[in-house]
Structure 1
Amino acid sequence: MMSNWNGTIIGPGHTVHENRIYSLKITCGENYPDAPPQVQFLSRVNLPFVNQTNGKVDPHNLPVLSSWSRNSSIETVLVEIRKEMASMNNRKLPQPPEGSMF
């Protein structure tokens, strides 16, 4: 089974993320799909569930990971992160310069 993935999220429209391209690293451990994957942003982003030192997503602060189901997928994780970017709480958060990396 493939355990290391690269992901890309295109920032949602009408937000500070619009047209930005975010790169992520996704690692599926030996217990996947029973346990959620580890997700880390490589591109700098300011979101409440992303560690601002290393880009790692805190699974306790992102519902799709905290309530993980083996029926969920990597696609589900990426779609839910994009939805969080567009949420009222996150859509206008100040962001680091485009193209900066962790």
Structure 2
Amino acid sequence: MSKIPRSFRLLEELEKGEKGMGPESCSYGLAHSDDITMTYWNGTILGPPHSNHENRIYSVALECGEEYPDKPPKIKFISKINLPCVNQTTGKVEEDRFETVRSWKRSYTMETLLLDLRKEMALPANKKLPQPTEGTNF
């Protein structure tokens, strides 16, 4: 079976993200409309209800390298957040501490990453963690 080329895959994701065809709890799109390599993306995650993240919107930056979707994108929180998988100095999601990245599959998408980060926020061990002041950035 042949692999879908990187650019076709990213075009599919861009179309889905732009048309808002994904879940309401996250969104994503190109960081720069003239990025013909479709490398740099912005995303948002709505904090899950019944947690210290409720009513917050978290901004993330994603970088889809040349090996995407075979390799996961790099993901970094712009908005400050307290989660065990996020480096508290840089905002980067640490690959070895986030299962979705650690066990990346070609079938995963940027949407998968964003939704799984939201699930991470809602875990019993994480949902009551004290959070930085809303509106602060890394």
TM-score by length of 2: 0.73
* Mapping of residues 10-21 of structure 1, within 5 Å: 10-21=46-57
Structure 1 runs not aligned, ≥5 long: none
Match of 2:117 in 1: 81
| Count, aligned residues | 102
SS in 2 for 1:13: coil
Higher relative contact order (CA 8 A, sep 6+): 1
Distance 1:72 1:57 in 2: 16
* Mapping of residues 57-76 of structure 1, within 5 Å: 57-76=93-112
Distance 2:95 2:124 in 1: 20
Match of 1:9 in 2: 45
Match of 1:100 in 2: 136
Distance 2:94 2:64 in 1: 15
From 70, 82, 86, the equivalent of 1:50 is 86
Give 1:3 deviation, angstroms: 1.1
Larger radius of gyration: 2
1:68-96 CA-to-partner distances (Å, cap 9, x unmatched) read 00100000000000000000010000000
Match of 2:30 in 1: none
Coordinate RMSD, CA, aligned: 0.6
Identify, as 1 or 2, the structure richer in helix.
2
Give 1:62 deviation, angstroms: 0.6
Give 1:39 deviation, angstroms: 0.3
Structure 2 runs not aligned, ≥5 long: 1-6, 8-37
Percentage of matched positions with identical amino acids: 55
Distance 2:101 2:49 in 1: 24
SS in 2 for 1:48: coil
TM-score by length of 1: 0.98
